[in-house]
Amino acid sequence: MKLHVLPTRAAGAAENMATDFLLLQRYPEIAVRFRHYDWHRPACTFGYSQKIEFVRGQLARDESVDLCRRPTGGGIVDHREDWTYALVIPRGHPLEELRATQSYRTVHEALAAALHRQQVPAVVKLTCEPPVEGETCSASGVCFQRAELYDVVHARTGEKIAGAAQKRNKHGLLFQGSLWRPAVGGNVDWESLHENFTEALGQALQAEAVPTPMPEFAEGELDGLTEQYASPEWNEKR
């Protein structure tokens, strides 16, 4: 199986969430797909099951932040100082068939290995209660406040470096992940880290990493889903 490494693009929060979901739902080939992406504006995303009033309270109702509910679980993620990625494992791949905790561990072990190549002493946290599928951030509901089982942490300080949330359906597994740049430090070559991470993922998933253009979705499909993710009906549904 191939690991399709898709181009890096910047978009608003709703479009980024819509693109990740369409990569799960509508991809034209049976392949693992990976993308790192950026943000047009300061953005925060929050878990599918979180209450909007709680989220707004944590953000002090900052109107300058582009806010969007994710299709995955987990807590609030502030993307203003993070490095964001999405990984989709298709139905039938061995990793997709594992329990959520084990897929979470496998991806984060690959990420820790990539960080080590950048001289970052990163390890996977091996203690504390296992997270429930889709609820992989801290019990406070805000990511990066506390590390959970199989998060990536700094080996010396214990500070959380990376976390993620998952969504599984009949098409496969969507993994939305975030690295907190301040915890990583200032000496990382982020382009090289991207390459190191996809190489490590390819080894872990037994998939050859191949640079691949973004797929052509059906006309209007991305725009329509972006509009849905930007709507009050989606973001204020809970």
Write down the pLDDT at residue 166: 94
Write down the pLDDT at residue 148: 86
Write down the pLDDT at residue 229: 96
Which run of H or E residues covers position 154?
Answer: strand 152-154
**CA neighbor of 31 nearest in space, from 88, 72, 111:** 88
SS3 content of the chain, % helix, strand, coil (to 5): 35, 30, 40
Other beta carbons within 10 Å of 116: 15
Residue 91: which domain range? 2-235
**Contact present, 43 and 15 (Cβ < 8 Å):** no
CA distances from 128 to 8, 45, 124, 136 (A): 34, 25, 12, 12
Write down the pLDDT at residue 140: 47
Write down the pLDDT at residue 135: 45
CATH of the domain at 169: 3.30.930.10
Largest CA distance in the chain: 50
- Count of structural domains within the chain: 1
- Partners of residue 44 on adjacent β-strands: 67, 78
- Terminal alpha carbon distance of the chain: 39
**CA neighbor of 88 nearest in space, from 30, 46, 43, 162:** 30
Mean pLDDT of successive 10-residue stretches along the chain, which has 238 residues: 96 97 95 97 94 87 85 94 97 89 95 96 82 47 73 92 95 96 89 97 96 93 96 92
